[in-house]
Structure 1
Amino acid sequence: MLCYWGAQVREGFGLSQPDKVKHGKCGVRSVCSKSAVQDMSAGKSFVGFIRDGQVSVLRLRGENCDQDGKLKQLQLKKDKIRSIVCGGAGAVLLVYGGRVLIMDKSIVCRPLKGLENRQVIQIACGDQHSMALTKDGQLFVWGDNTHGQLGLEKEQPSSLTAQPVKSLCGIPLAQISAGGDHSFVLSLSGVVFGWGKNSAGQLGLGDTTDRHVPTVVNSLNRNKTVSISCGGEHTATLSKGGTVFTFGSGGFGQLGHNSFEDEHHPRVVAELCGSKVSQVTCRRRHTLVLVESSKLIYSFGCGMQGQLGNGEMIKQSMPFPVDLSTECDHAYMIEKLIAGENHSFSLFTKKLGNESKPNPSRILTLDDRMIDRWVSGSDSWKVIKKDINKVFSSAASLNGSFLKTSCDEHYQMSEEHCGLDFDLVKASFAKLSNNERLISEVVRVVQQTLLPDLNPNPAGVEALRLYLLLPELIRGLQEQQRTELTKAMASKILDLNPAARKVLVLFVFLCYMHLVFSEMYWSTLPDDMLKNLVDLFQKESAMLIGRISVVQMDWDIATHLPKYVQILQMVYQVCRSAHRDITKSDFIIHEVNGLLDVLQTINEDVNDMWQWFTLTGQIQALVAQQNYYNTILKNLISLPCIFNLEAKCSYMKNRAWKGCFQLILRRTALLEDCFSQLRTASKQHLRGYWLAVRYTEDLRKTDVNKRDFFLNVFKELCAPESQLLRENDNKTLSWFPTKLSVEKEKYFLFGILCGLAFNNNSVVNLPFPLALFKKLLNVKPCLEDLIEFSKVLGKSLRYILDYSDDVREMGPLFTITWDGTEVELDPAEPGKVVTNYNRTEFVDKYVDYILNKSVEEVFEEFKRGFFNACDRCLVEMFEPEELRGVLVGNEEYDWDILKKNTTYEGSFYAEHPTIISFWEVFDELTPNEKKAFLLFITGFEKVPILGMSAVKMRVRTRFDFTQDHLPEALTCHALLDLPVYQNKETLRAKVIEAINHKRGFWEE
Structure 2
Amino acid sequence: MTSRDVLLLPRIHDDGLMFAFLGEQAARMGKRCLYAWGLAEEGQLGMRIPGSGLITSPQQIFGAPVDEFGVTISSIACGEKHTIMLTADGKLWSVGANECGQLGRSGAQHGSFTIYPVEMNVGTKIIQIEAGQYHSAAVAEDGRLFVWGRNAELQCARRNSNVVNKPSRVTEITEAVQVACGANNCVALQQSGNVYVWGAVLGKHVSLPTIVSIFSKIPIVQISAGDDHFGALTSSGYLYTWGRNEYGQCGNGSQLDRPHLLRQQPHGGTHEGRPPLRADPQLVAELLGSHVTKVACGRLHTVAVASGRIYSFGLNSNGQLGTGRLSSTIITPQLVCELNKITTIFAGYDQTFAIEAPITDLMSSPSASLETPKFLSMSRLRQLFADGSDNKLDIMGELESVFSSMACFNGSFAYTDDRRFHCSASNIAMNLDDAMYTFNMIANHQDADRFGEIIVDCLKMGVFEGNDHFIFNQCSPRENAEVCKFLMALPWFHEMVHPEKDDRYDSLFMPYVKLLTAVNRLTGTKLLRRWWTGLATRHFNKIVQVLMAGVEYQVAEKKDNMDMVTVLKLLKQLYDLSQQFSKIPADHFYLNSLMKKMDIRSDFFHWITDGSSREDDELLKPFHFVDYPFLFNAEAKAALLEAEAQFSMYRAAQEPSMAMIPFYGVTPVMNPTFNIEVRRNNIVEDTISVFSHSNQKNFMKPLRVKFVGEEGQDEGGVRKEFFMLLFQQLLQSHYGMFIEDPDSHYVWFSGIDLGEQENFKLVGRLCALAVYNAILVDFPFPLALYKKLLGHKLTLDDLMMLHPTEGRSLQALMDYEETDEEDVFALSFQISIDVWGQAVDVELKPGGKDIPVTHENKAEFVRLYVERRLELGVNEQVKNQIGQFISGFKSVMTSKIIDFFQPHELMELIVGNENYDWEIFKKNTQYKGEYNKDHPAVKAFWDAFFELDVDQRKKFLLFLMGSARIPVGGMEKLAIVVQPIPDHLYPVAHTCFNLLDLPNLADKKEMKRRLQMCIEHTEGFTLV
- Pairwise same-fold verdict (TM > 0.5): yes
Worse-matched range after superposition: 490-499 or 262-271: 262-271
User: Any conservation in 2 of the 1:231–1:282 contact (CA below 8 Å)?
Assistant: yes
Amino acid at match of 2:11: M
Amino acid aligned to 2:222:
S
Which of 939, 942, 950 is the matching residue for 2:965?
Answer: 942
Cross-structure match for 2:509: 490
**Aligned AA (2:503):** E
Deviations 1:297-352 (A, max 9, x none): 2669x999999999999997xxx43253x2x72797651357x9xxx864334658
CA distance in structure 2 between the partners assigned to 1:164 and 1:398 by the alignment: 19
Q: Tell me how far 1:417 sits from its aligned partner.
A: 2.5
Partner residue of 1:886?
909
Q: Do 1:725 and 1:734's aligned partners in 2 also have CA atoms closer than 8 Å?
A: yes
SS state at 1:362 partner: coil
Q: What is the deviation of 1:815?
A: 3.2
Q: 1:433 aligns to what? A: 447
1:136 is matched with which residue: 120, 142, 150? 142
CA distance in 1, matches of 2:253, 2:888: 61
Is 1:770–1:884's contact at 8 Å kept on the other side of the alignment? yes
Instruction: Tell me how far apart the structure 1 counterparts of residues 396 and 149 of structure 2 sit (CA, whole Å).
Output: 36
- Quote how far apart the aligned CAs of 1:276 are: 1.2
Pairing 1:100-111 to 2, within 5 Å after superposition: 109=102, 111=104
1:632-675 superposed Cα distances (whole Å, 9 cap, x missing partner): 987997446xx7x7787678778997563538657488679879
| Alignment map for 1:113-152 (pairs within 5 Å) | 117-118=120-121, 119=124, 120-122=126-128, 132-140=138-146
Q: Which amino acid aligns with 2:120?
A: N
Query: Contact 1:929/1:995 (CA < 8 Å) preserved in 2?
Result: no
Q: Deviations over 1:333-373 (max 9, x none)?
A: 651357x9xxx864334658899999674224465588999
Q: Which residue of 2 aligns with 1:400?
A: 411
Contact 1:759–1:870 under 8 Å retained in 2: no
Quick check: 1:787 aligned with 2:800? yes
Q: How many residues align?
A: 850
Aligned partner of 2:994 in structure 1 is: 974
SS of corresponding position for 1:242: coil
Distance 2:533 2:546 in 1: 21
The answer (yes or no) to whether the contact 2:81–2:96 under 8 Å persists in 1 is yes
Does residue 39 in structure 1 map to residue 10 in structure 2? Answer: yes
Shift of 1:428: 6.4
What's the offset of the Cα at 1:460? 3.3
Which residue is equivalent to 1:24?
none
Name the counterpart of 1:29.
Answer: none
Q: What's the offset of the Cα at 1:410?
A: 7.5
SS at match of 2:237: coil
After superposition, the Cα gap between the structure-2 partners of 1:830 and 1:187, relative to the gap in structure 1 and judged at 3 Å, is farther
- In 1: Cα distance, 2:291 partner to 2:920 partner: 77
1:199 CA displacement: 13
The equivalent of 2:222 in structure 1 is 227
State the shift of 1:488 in Å. 3.4
Cα distance between partner residues in 2 of 1:410 and 1:132 = 23
Superposition map of 1:685-724 within 5 A: 692-693=702-703
Among residues 319, 327, 333, which one is paired with 1:321 in the alignment? 333
Structure 2 counterpart SS, 1:117: coil
The answer to whether residue 538 in structure 2 is matched with residue 523 in structure 1 is yes
Tell me: CA distance 1:312–1:674, structure 2 relative to 1, closer, same or farther (3 Å).
farther
* Residue 822 in structure 1 maps to residue 843 in structure 2: yes
Letter in 2 for 1:823: L
CA pair 632-386 structure 1, distance change in 2 beyond 3 A: farther
Give the letter aligned to residue 494 of structure 1: V
Give distance in 2, aligned partners of 1:592 and 1:469: 27
The 8 Å contact of residues 102 and 111 in structure 1, kept in 2 or not, is answered as: no
**Cα distance in 2 for residues equivalent to 1:910 and 1:250:** 98
Q: Distance in 1 between matches of 2:816 and 2:504?
A: 54
Is it true that 1:459 corresponds to 2:480 in the alignment? yes
> 2: distance between equivalents of 1:739 and 1:270?
77
Partners of 2:783 and 2:904 within 8 A in 1: yes
User: Which residue in 1 is equivalent to 2:275?
Assistant: none
The answer as to whether partners of 2:199 and 2:207 remain within 8 angstroms in 1 is yes
Give the 5 Å matches for 1:901-980: 938-940=961-963, 942-946=965-969, 950-954=973-977, 970-971=991-992, 973-975=993-995
8 Å contact kept, 1:215–1:459: no
CA distance in 2, matches of 1:911, 1:892: 27
Residue in 1 aligned with 2:292?
277
Indicate the larger mover: 922-931 or 118-127: 922-931
Q: Distance in 2 between the 1:856 and 1:255 partners?
A: 73
Using the alignment, how far apart are the partners of 1:378 and 1:920 within structure 2? 62
TM superposition score normalised by structure 2: 0.58
Equivalent residue in structure 2 for 1:240, among 225, 235, 247: 235
Which residue matches 2:30? none
| SS at 2:702 equivalent | strand
Deviation at 1:424, TM superposition (A): 6.2
The 8 Å contact of residues 148 and 195 in structure 1, kept in 2 or not, is answered as no
Query: Secondary structure in 1 aligned to 2:307?
Result: helix
Per-residue deviation, 1:186: 3.9
Task: Output the CA distance in 1 between the equivalents of 2:161 and 2:888.
Answer: 55
* Contact 1:725–1:737 (Cα < 8 Å) also in 2: yes
Match of 1:192 in 2: 194
Deviating more after overlay: 414-423 vs 671-680: 671-680
Q: Say whether the 8 Å CA contact 1:100–1:111 is kept in structure 2.
A: no
Q: How far, CA to CA, are the matches of 1:248 and 1:707 in structure 2?
A: 86
Supply the distance in 2 between the matched residues of 1:785 and 1:151 (Cα, whole angstroms): 62
SS at match of 2:811: helix
Say if 1:351 and 1:743 are closer, same or farther in 2 by CA, change over 3 A. Answer: farther
Could you tell me whether the CA contact under 8 Å between 2:294 and 2:344 is conserved in 1?
A: no
The answer on whether the counterparts of 2:100 and 2:163 sit within 8 Å (CA) in structure 1 is no
Do the aligned partners of residues 105 and 187 (structure 1) sit closer, same or farther apart at CA in structure 2, a change above 3 Å counting?
Answer: closer
* Change in 2 beyond 3 A, CA 1:146/1:762: farther
Asked if the contact 1:50–1:84 (Cα under 8 Å) also holds between the matched residues in 2, the reply is no
1:434, 1:714 → 2: CA distance? Answer: 60
Distance 1:995 1:332, change over 3 A: closer
Q: Choose 211-220 or 441-450, whichever is displaced more.
A: 211-220
Q: Does 2:285 match 1:292?
A: no
Any unmatched runs of 5+ in structure 2?
20-34, 43-51, 56-60, 66-72, 108-117, 261-277, 604-621, 654-672, 677-684, 834-840, 1001-1005
**Structure 1 residue 137 displacement after superposition:** 1.9
Q: CA separation of 1:192/1:978 partners in 2, compared to 1, >3 Å: closer, same or farther?
A: same
The separation in 2 between residues aligned to 1:386 and 1:588, in whole angstroms, is 40
- Residue range with higher mean Cα deviation, 900-909 or 756-765: 900-909
**Is structure 2 residue 811 aligned with structure 1 residue 798?**
yes
**SS of equivalent to 2:480:** coil
Shift of the 274–830 alpha-carbon distance from structure 1 to 2, 3 Å rule, reads: farther
TM-score if structure 1 supplies the norm length?
A: 0.59
Could you tell me how far apart the structure 2 residues matched to 1:442 and 1:103 are? 41
- Pairwise CA distance, 1:789: 2.0
Matches within 5 A, 1:800-879: 800-803=813-816, 807=820, 809-810=822-823, 815-817=829-831, 822-824=843-845, 833-836=852-855, 839-840=858-859, 842-843=861-862, 846-847=865-866, 862=886, 876=900
- Native 8 Å contact 1:934 1:940 kept in 2: yes
CA shift in 2, pair 1:874/1:361, >3 Å: farther
Task: Assess, with a 3 A threshold, how the Cα gap between structure 1 residues 230 and 789 changes in structure 2: closer, same or farther.
Answer: farther
Identity across aligned pairs (percent)?
Answer: 21
Q: Is the 8 A contact 1:290 1:337 kept in 2?
A: no
What secondary structure, in the 3-state scheme, does the structure 2 residue paired with 1:111 have?
coil
* Alpha carbons 1:173, 1:186 under 8 Å: kept: yes
CA–CA separation in structure 2 for the residues paired with 1:751 and 1:248: 76
Give the direction of change, closer, same or farther, for the CA distance of 1:232–1:544 in structure 2 (3 Å limit).
same
Find the counterpart in structure 2 of residue 175 from structure 1.
178
